Structure 1
Amino acid sequence: MAPPCPPRGIYAPVVAFFFEDETLDIESLKTHVTRLAEAGVAGLVIQGSNGEAPHLLHSERKEVISTAAAILKEKGKPGSVIIAGCGAQSTRETIQLTQEAQEAGADYALVLSPSYWVGAMQPTTIQKFFTDVAAVSPIPILLYNFPAVTGGIDLDSDLIANLASANPNKIVGCKLTCGNIGKLHRVAHDKRITTPFAAFAGKSEFFLHGLVAGSHGLIGAAVNFVPKVHVKLLELYDAGNLAAAQELQTQLSETDWVLVRSGVSGLKAALEKYFKYGSGRSRRPLNPVQSSVFSGEKDVVLQQIVDLEKSL
């Protein structure tokens, strides 16, 4: 049985792999999840933004979750968990996705705000949406705040705290990809939240900053690329070695900047170039990225941190 909220630690928002004809590449997924699990991550996020959730059929979502859950159970450390992206534009479909995620082996659901009708998504509407989902979902949910993919909708710290306090043990965390460290600090220390609550930083470029603010760890795209480096930074911080953690954070910030500029497909192209599996293929309309894009200074940055990853 999963703990009340996700364990503190490092989580990889797992990328989705495709063949040239855009069918799922399950063998590359298995290779990738095995590498992540053996690196010591606390868990996986399946069908987050990097998992291209909007591009997958419901049946494909279930297949990816069940595949990842089986490998994590076999290769991961005890207590490793699956968080499944379950955001949709209607309350009804979101609830359906949480049910299907639980059936496929997920422990928690990560839910974006609906955003198609941006003008109608006032705070009271958003609060009711998350409350309605939490009431019916068979697994606890985490709020996913990513304004760049929700038409600018940005959950503030009061809304997050109010939702958590009003739905104890049902709304158990959040992922803040907005990059607002002040918000993260407020949420992590809000006295209105009296049940276990996991406030995660949402990008590797502010991983250490989030830890100082009181985060529960990280859910960041670059964990796909160098999971051991992220685990090492958390170990350094917990040991009180802030200088070494800052040095590692500098490398991660540079790495994250290179990967983010290449997009979701670029992250997979980097895995192909440096770890020899997958490809830079996504489902259209996202364009593929060739691994040759990582040349010159980009290659220097990535190769340096890959060498570190392989040494750990």
Structure 2
Amino acid sequence: MAPTTPPRGVYAPVVAFFHEDETLDLDALTTHVTRLAKSGVAGLVIQGSNGEAPHLLHSERQLVISTALEALKQHGKPGAVIIAGCGAQSTRETLQLCSEALEAGAHYALVLSPSYWVGAMKKDTITQFFNDVASKSPIPVLIYNFPGVTSGIDIDSDMISELATANVGKVVGCKLTCGNLGKLHRVAHDKRITEPFAVFAGKSDFFLHGLVAGSNGVIAAAANLVPKIHVKLLQLYDEGRLAEAQELQTYLGEADWILVKLGVAGLKGALHKYYEYGGGRSRRPLGSVGASAFDGEAGDALKRIVEYEKSL
């Protein structure tokens, strides 16, 4: 049985891999998840923003979850969990995705705000959406705040805290990719929230800052590329070795910025370049990123951090 909230630690939002004909490449997925699991991550996020969920059929989403779960069971540390992206534009489909995620073996659902017809997405509408999902989802829910993929909708700290207190044991955490550290700190220390509630930083470039503010860890795209470095930074912070943690944070911030500019396909291109699997392909219209994208200073910076990762 999964704990009430996702365990504290590093989570990689796993990318989806495709063959040249855009069918799922499950062999590459297994290779990737096995590497992540062996790195000591606390768990995986499947079909987060990096997992191309909008490009997958429901059946494909379940297949990716079950494939990843099997590799995690074989190679992950005890207690490692799967958080499945289950956000959709309707309450009905979101609940369907939550049920299908449970069937495939996921432990938690990560849910974005709906954003279709953004003018209609008032605060009370979004609040009701999360209340409805939380009341009927068969697995606990984490609120996912990422204005970049929800037409600019930015869930504030009051709404998150109110949803947590109104849905105890059902809304059990949040992922804040908005980068608002003040919001993260407010939610992590909100005295209205009396039950365990996991607040995650949503990017590598404020991983350490989030820990200082009281986060439960990080769910970060760059953890696909260098998971051991993320795990090492958490260890250094917990041991009080702040200067060393700051040094690692500097490298992670640089790598994260490079990957952000390259996009989802670029992250997969980096995996192919430095670990020799995956092919760097996405489903159209995202396209592909080839090896030439890693020429020059950006490629040199990523090569250095990957070499350090491989030394750990």
Identity of aligned pairs, percent? 73
* Residue equivalent to 1:85: 85
Letter in structure 2 aligned against 1:28: A
Quote the Cα distance in structure 2 between the aligned partners of 1:291 and 1:182.
38
TM-score (norm: length of structure 1): 0.99
Q: Secondary structure at the match of 1:279?
A: coil
How far 1:291 moved relative to its partner?
1.9
Distance in 2 between the 1:42 and 1:193 partners? 23
Report the counterpart of residue 3 of structure 2 in structure 1: 3
**Counterparts of 2:102 and 2:292, CA distance in 1:** 39
SS in 2 for 1:142: strand
CA shift digits 1:145-199 (9 cap, x unpaired): 0001001100000000000000000000000000000000000000111111000
CA distance in 2 between counterparts of 1:82 and 1:31 reads 17
Q: Distance in 2 between matches of 1:302 and 1:46?
A: 24
Aligned match of 1:292: 292
CA shift, 1:72, in A, is 0.6
- Cα displacement (A) at 1:80: 0.1
The aligned residue for residue 219 of structure 1 is 219
**Shift of the alpha carbon at 1:287?**
2.1
Distance in 2 of aligned mates of 1:273 and 1:288:
13
Q: What TM-score, normalized by structure 2, do the two folds share?
A: 0.99
In the other structure, the counterpart of 1:54 is 54
Tell me, which stretches of 5 or more residues in structure 1 are unaligned?
A: none
User: Tell me, what secondary structure is at the counterpart of 2:21?
Assistant: coil
8 Å contact from structure 1 (residues 266, 291) kept in 2: no
Correspondence for 2:110: 110
Q: Give 2:106's aligned amino acid.
A: A
Other-structure match for 2:66: 66
Q: Secondary structure at the match of 1:45?
A: strand
For residue 169 of structure 2, what is the aligned residue in structure 1?
169
Instruction: Find the aligned partners of 1:299 and 1:90 in 2 and give their Cα distance.
Output: 41
Does residue 309 (structure 1) correspond to residue 286 (structure 2)? The answer is no
SS in 1 for 2:261: helix
Amino acid at match of 1:208: L
Q: What's 1:232 paired with? A: 232
Letter in 2 for 1:200: F
* Matched positions, count: 312
Could you report, residue by residue, the CA deviation over 1:2-41 in whole angstroms, capped at 9, with x for unpaired residues? 0000000000000000011110000000000000000000
* Structure 2 Cα separation of the partners of residues 268 and 291 of structure 1: 11
Counterpart of 2:95 in structure 1 is 95
3-state SS of 2:244 partner: helix
Please tell me the root mean square deviation across aligned C-alpha atoms, in Å: 0.5
1:98 Cα deviation after fit: 0.1
Give the 5 Å matches for 1:182-221: 182-221=182-221
- Look up the match of 1:272: 272
SS at match of 1:172: strand
